[in-house]
């Protein structure tokens, strides 16, 4: 079996396990433990804040440890253990500890899979393979959601535990079955494979002063500030404007995931031909359009168009961000450290999105709330546009420099002759 086939299987199986029970946690705690929304919200907030703080250090661990297959297996085991520990848990502290263990495993898992992919296919093939990874990831989410939906009607809400546990175990098997020789450490961090000695790693200070990396992080935080809470806000709007808002919200989630599959494949293919930064520009352009549709359309059927755009933007972001971070840090030996730090910053934007949207709704009403979310996307668009322009400028300068070197070499050869 080819290493890329193992990557495909890994991404299918980890699709639904990265955050533990994720959206099913609140439903299960409310239904089976009679928890209030405030208790569920407090657990979710504390777990989210803790995992954001771990994202950068986990990236440094992946860069330093150099065994991504073991890290993936360990992450899946942590997710499985944390999820199973939820079943007997009743009080606040055991639930918090169990969910934190699962969420921390999911944070490490994403970074380890990225490192594994880079080490298997190399940088040149990374954009296309990242597109495939994301497509299979969304397929896994759809499969798990379908199994949970069918199983809940027959078995009960605890079926989510068994689906997640089965997928975590399958991910561990798929990871350990990959031949160890498929992964190359130097290829994963951008060092030349023929070099006998490893080049020195960049310092953390160099990462923190990388202007393009900082602009990318801020742009993604603003994108997530506008994007993260939009579906939640839309679900609240549907309570007032539509019958059966829960069913419509579920349909929107399924539509977005279905759209992400072909978009991720296309983004991976277009990354080299059209440019990675241009993909980010496209994602940021889509967000304000989605906000306009959500603001001024009340018919739940036509609002599906807004969630199609959600699938487009999210599908592009999932592919483009690791690729752009790899570009900006290539050869530094700190790619996953940078990716983990960028993920933390954009995760902070996503965590604030629901609060920001709710605050805007209280001040400006439903239409104003969606427009406020879209405005964050417009600011992100400006930053990404600058990033693309300065990167293209630097590429042009490098091309001119190479042409000048060739001319000097030609003149020197002619003079010597």
Q: Whole-angstrom Cα distance, residue 257 to residue 16?
A: 12
Q: Whole-angstrom Cα distance, residue 48 to residue 40?
A: 12
Question: Nearest-CA neighbor of 280 among 315, 331, 228, 229?
Answer: 315
Structure tokens at 279: 């993909």
Distances (CA, A) of 363 to 198, 228, 353, 356, 358: 56, 19, 15, 11, 9
Residue whose pair of structure tokens reads 């009960």 in the numeric block: 156
pLDDT in tens, 142-197: 888 788 777 777 777 677 778 888 888 899 999 999 987 888 888 887 776 666 66
Residue whose pair of structure tokens reads 């970074």 in the numeric block: 111
Q: What is the mean pLDDT of the chain?
A: 83
Q: Whole-angstrom Cα distance, residue 290 to residue 370?
A: 9
Residue 394 has a pLDDT of 44
State the helix-helix crossing angle for 276-296 and 211-227, rounded to 10 degrees.
20
Q: Whole-angstrom Cα distance, residue 287 to residue 224?
A: 10
**Cα 56 to the center of its chain, rounded Å:** 14
DSSP assignment of 351-409, as one string? HHHHHHHHHHHHHHHHHHHHHHHHHHHHHHHHHHHHHHHHHHHHHHHHHHHHHHHHHHH
Residue 32 has a pLDDT of 67
Alpha helices in 191-303 (DSSP H): 204-208, 211-227, 230-241, 245-274, 276-296
Residue 14 pLDDT greater than 60, yes or no: yes
What's the pTM value of the predicted model, to 2 decimals?
0.83
Q: How many CB atoms lie within 10 A of CB 363?
A: 10
Residue whose pair of structure tokens reads 């920001």 in the numeric block: 356
Q: Whole-angstrom Cα distance, residue 133 to residue 149?
A: 24
Rg (CA), the chain: 22
Least confident residue range of 116-130, 236-250, 281-295, 344-358:
236-250
Q: Between residues 380 and 155, which one has the greater pLDDT?
A: 380
Residue 145 has a pLDDT of 76
Residue 401 has a pLDDT of 47
Q: Whole-angstrom Cα distance, residue 132 to residue 137?
A: 8
Q: Whole-angstrom Cα distance, residue 248 to residue 391?
A: 42
Q: Whole-angstrom Cα distance, residue 339 to residue 323?
A: 10
Q: What is the mean pLDDT of residues 110-117?
A: 93
Assess contact for 77 and 173: CB atoms under 8 A.
Answer: no
């Amino acid at each position: 079996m080819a290493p890329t086939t193992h990557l495909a299987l890994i991404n299918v199986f980890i699709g639904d396990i990265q955050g533990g029970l994720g959206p099913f946690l609140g439903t299960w705690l409310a239904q089976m433990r009679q928890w209030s929304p405030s208790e569920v919200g407090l657990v979710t907030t504390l777990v989210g804040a803790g995992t954001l703080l771990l994202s950068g250090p986990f990236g440094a661990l992946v860069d330093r440890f150099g065994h991504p297959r073991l890290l993936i297996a360990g992450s899946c085991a942590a997710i499985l253990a944390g999820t199973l520990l939820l079943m007997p848990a009743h009080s606040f502290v055991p639930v918090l500890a169990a969910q934190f263990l699962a969420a921390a495993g999911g944070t490490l898992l994403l970074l380890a899979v990225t490192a594994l992919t880079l080490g298997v296919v190399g940088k040149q093939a990374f954009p296309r393979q990242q597109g495939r990874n994301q497509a299979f990831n969304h397929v896994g989410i759809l499969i798990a959601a379908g199994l949970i939906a069918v199983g809940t009607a027959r078995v009960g809400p605890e079926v989510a535990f068994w689906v997640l546990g089965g997928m975590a175990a399958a991910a561990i098997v798929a990871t350990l079955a990959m031949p160890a020789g498929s992964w190359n450490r130097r290829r994963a961090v951008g060092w030349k494979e023929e070099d006998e000695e490893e080049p020195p790693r960049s310092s953390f200070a160099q990462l923190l002063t990388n202007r393009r990396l900082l602009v990318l992080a801020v742009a993604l935080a603003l994108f997530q500030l506008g994007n993260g809470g939009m579906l939640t806000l839309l679900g609240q709007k549907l309570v007032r404007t539509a019958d059966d808002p829960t069913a419509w919200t579920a349909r929107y989630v399924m539509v977005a995931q279905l759209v992400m599959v072909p978009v991720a494949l296309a983004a991976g293919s277009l990354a080299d031909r059209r440019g990675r930064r241009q993909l980010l520009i496209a994602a940021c352009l889509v967000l304000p359009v989605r906000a306009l549709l959500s603001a001024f359309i009340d018919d739940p059927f036509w609002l599906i168009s807004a969630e199609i755009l959600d699938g487009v933007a999210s599908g592009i972001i999932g592919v483009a961000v690791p690729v752009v971070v790899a570009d900006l840090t290539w050869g530094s030996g700190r790619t996953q450290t940078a990716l983990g730090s960028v993920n933390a910053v954009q995760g902070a934007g996503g965590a604030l999105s629901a609060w920001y949207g709710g605050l805007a709704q209280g001040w400006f009403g439903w239409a104003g709330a969606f427009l406020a979310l879209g405005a964050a996307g417009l600011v992100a668009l400006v930053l990404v546009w600058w990033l693309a322009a300065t990167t293209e400028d630097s590429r042009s300068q490098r091309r001119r420099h190479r042409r000048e070197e060739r001319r000097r070499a030609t003149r020197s050869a002619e003079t010597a002759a």
